[in-house]
Structure 1
Amino acid sequence: MADGLNDARAMRVAEIVTDFRNLQHYIAQIRTSPTAEEYYLEGYALVRQCVAEGRSILAGPFSASSVPPSGNPEAEKAQLRSVILDASVRRFKSQRTYLRATAAMRWINARNAVLRGPRSHGRQAQLQAVDQSLRVELASITDERVEYSLRVQDAAQGKWLAEDPSLATIQQMIRR
């Protein structure tokens, strides 16, 4: 029996896809220009990895049902739920990639600030501290944090979240 929520589901698809598109746009805009000596440093390698991940997420095949529901409300409901799941997984992966990329960009900026500063005997220690800060920040980007950041943002904007997949469901889909 149709539950009358297909319009809400369709709106939710549009919201999630918009978030996904915005994240993909931000990831695609990331540009760095390391020197030959810097190219393989942790932060620069991470930026390249994140940009590649963003492209991979975007290029991934659509996993929801592509059978047209042909006016059947129950078929529409099933299809919209499937699209919400696929879009939520993509948005989650993009958010995680974006958080990692912004951590790498903070590392690049902090490293450049140290290198532009006065030459001192403590410069190596400062660079090591910047490296350690990146590692700590990356360790804090857990699936739970990513999911929480998305839910808080959605809730603050008053979005309908009743059928958003749980973190466990998203993790299960990623493992597939």
Structure 2
Amino acid sequence: MTDFRNLQHYLANIRVNPSVEEYYEEGYTILRQCIVEAQVLLSQPFSQTAPSPRGNAEQEKAQLRGTIVDASVRRFKAQKIYLRATAVLRWVNSRNVMLRGQRIEAVHVPALHRIQLTLQTELASVADERVELSLRAADSAQGKWIAEDPNLATIQHLIHIGR
């Protein structure tokens, strides 16, 4: 839950101000998509599927499993958005360093092309398997209990059905 909260905070505080000429550049467009996806994710309420367990141990376990699954799916989605957004922010920073406040001229085109290719490569690497690996590696390194976490196939299924 703390990790999801940290991702929420990070995603909610992304601020970039492209110039009018840059507004429709691929990176800025993708970053706006990431921000919208994050806002949608953050606005979705927890969907409790079972009534309050009222002291029934099995219902309490089922409710806890449901909470873990919901949190895992949300965290997975947030991590994927985060990885895409950070790739774009590296693109923004690279462009800013290269352009140094100047308008784009012919001399900048080769470097901008390389920066664009780097962005596309990084975005292509943000596959579900990478997202899961990054989350599980972080959890393992921090000594978190992950035995009850849903596997990637379950998360993908739940995302596909719109949970």
TM-score by length of 2: 0.93
State the 1:113 CA deviation. 1.2
Report Cα offsets for 1:148-172 as digits up to 9, x if no partner. 0000000111111111000000000
CA–CA separation in structure 2 for the residues paired with 1:74 and 1:162: 18
Residue from 138, 142, 146 that aligns with 1:157: 142
Corresponding residue number in structure 1 for 2:129: 144
Corresponding residue number in structure 2 for 1:103: 87
Corresponding residue number in structure 2 for 1:125: 110
Unaligned 5+ segments in structure 2 are none
Residue from 141, 150, 160 that aligns with 1:175: 160
| Percentage of matched positions with identical amino acids | 57
Instruction: Output the amino acid matched with 1:97.
Output: I
- Give the match's secondary structure for 1:130: helix
Report Cα offsets for 1:91-114 as digits up to 9, x if no partner. 000000001000000000001111
State the 1:67 CA deviation. 1.1
Instruction: Output the amino acid matched with 1:137.
Output: E
CA contact (8 A) 1:69 1:79 kept: yes
Corresponding residue number in structure 1 for 2:39: 55
Unaligned 5+ segments in structure 1 are 1-16
Aligned residue-pair number: 160
CA–CA separation in structure 2 for the residues paired with 1:151 and 1:64: 25
CA–CA separation in structure 1 for the residues paired with 2:42 and 2:100: 37
Q: CA RMSD in A?
A: 1.6
State the 1:19 CA deviation. 1.1
2:67 corresponds to 1:83: yes
Corresponding residue number in structure 1 for 2:76: 92
State the 1:120 CA deviation. 7.7
TM-score by length of 1: 0.86
CA–CA separation in structure 2 for the residues paired with 1:123 and 1:54: 33
CA–CA separation in structure 2 for the residues paired with 1:175 and 1:121: 44
